[in-house]
Amino acid sequence: MDTGADIHVRDLRRWRLTLPQAAQLLNMDLVAVRKTVDRGWLQPRYVRLNGRSIRALDGVDIVCLIINRSIVPNIRKRVYVELKHWPDDRPLRGTVAVQIDDPKGSRIVDVPLDRSVREAMAGLAAFEQSQHEVDDHGRIRGTTVEAHRIAALIEGGMQGEEVLRDYPNLTKTQLDSAIAYARAHPKQGRPFPPRTVKSVLRQGRGGLAHVFAAARDAE
């Protein structure tokens, strides 16, 4: 089934994502997203958050950022303009034709849309779900567990199943959302320990001194 056939620009324009949220959706480093926007070929909107105006992207911007991974710089701006003026009643599918002027003359380049549009919509749906899993303070909803704490365990080499064994009240969805949130919102200050005390005890490595040190860090 071609999901892109049912997607229109109006479905994408309704979204407003801050740059950290866009980084979370795109699985990109926040600094990389900021640099991409700072280059000026995107025209972000602004939203009010905690009394401040901050830059935000809509779903069309997300599609363009995904397309940007596979096209050269002199094409991306033209694709962006075409999609920003795409008629609301025309499905986003097939290709977008852009005219390129170079020393060899003018030519038309067809840029595929379907895969990027489907990826953007899937990402938006996953992002919407993740917003129900991590609260505004960076804690997994319904718990006192920080998303960065869980992400640190994965980065430290623990497998997802092992983390869930040590945090039996968490779900796989919550774990994935915590990882995505932490990637888009880098932690400031002292990092969380890379392993749980239980996992260190299971492996029996490093002696009790390391276990107690990890326990103190986790407090």
Given a cut of 50, whether residue 2 has pLDDT beyond it is no
pLDDT average, residue stretch 166-194: 88
Rounded to 5°, the CA angle 181-186-189 comes to: 130
The model's pTM: 0.68
Domain ranges of the chain: 3-131, 147-218
Beta carbons within 8 Å of 185's beta carbon, 6+ residues apart: 20, 24, 30, 138, 147, 148
pLDDT at residue number 132:
84
pLDDT average, residue stretch 201-209: 62
Q: Are 99 and 107 in contact (CB under 8 A)?
A: yes
Sheet holding 52-57, edge to edge: 17-18, 52-57, 45-49
Given a cut of 60, whether residue 11 has pLDDT beyond it is yes
Nearest to 62 by CA among 91, 33, 99: 33
* Confidence grade of residue 3 (pLDDT, cut at 50, 70, 90): very low
* Confidence grade of residue 54 (pLDDT, cut at 50, 70, 90): very high
Given a cut of 90, whether residue 208 has pLDDT beyond it is no
Output the six-digit token pair for 17: 């994502």
pLDDT tens digits along 136-156: 889 999 999 999 999 999 999
Given a cut of 70, whether residue 187 has pLDDT beyond it is yes
Q: Are 25 and 124 in contact (CB under 8 A)?
A: yes
Given a cut of 70, whether residue 217 has pLDDT beyond it is no
Output the six-digit token pair for 9: 């620009």
40, 50, 59, 190 from 18: Cα distances, Å: 16, 13, 11, 25
Given a cut of 80, whether residue 5 has pLDDT beyond it is no
pLDDT tens digits along 59-114: 999 999 999 888 888 888 899 999 999 998 889 999 999 888 877 778 898 999 99
pLDDT at residue number 185:
77
**Mean pLDDT score of the chain, rounded to an integer?**
85
pLDDT at residue number 83:
93
Given a cut of 70, whether residue 206 has pLDDT beyond it is no
pLDDT average, residue stretch 159-179: 93
Reduce the DSSP state of residue 64 to 3 states and report it. Answer: helix
Higher-scoring residue by pLDDT: 115, 209: 115
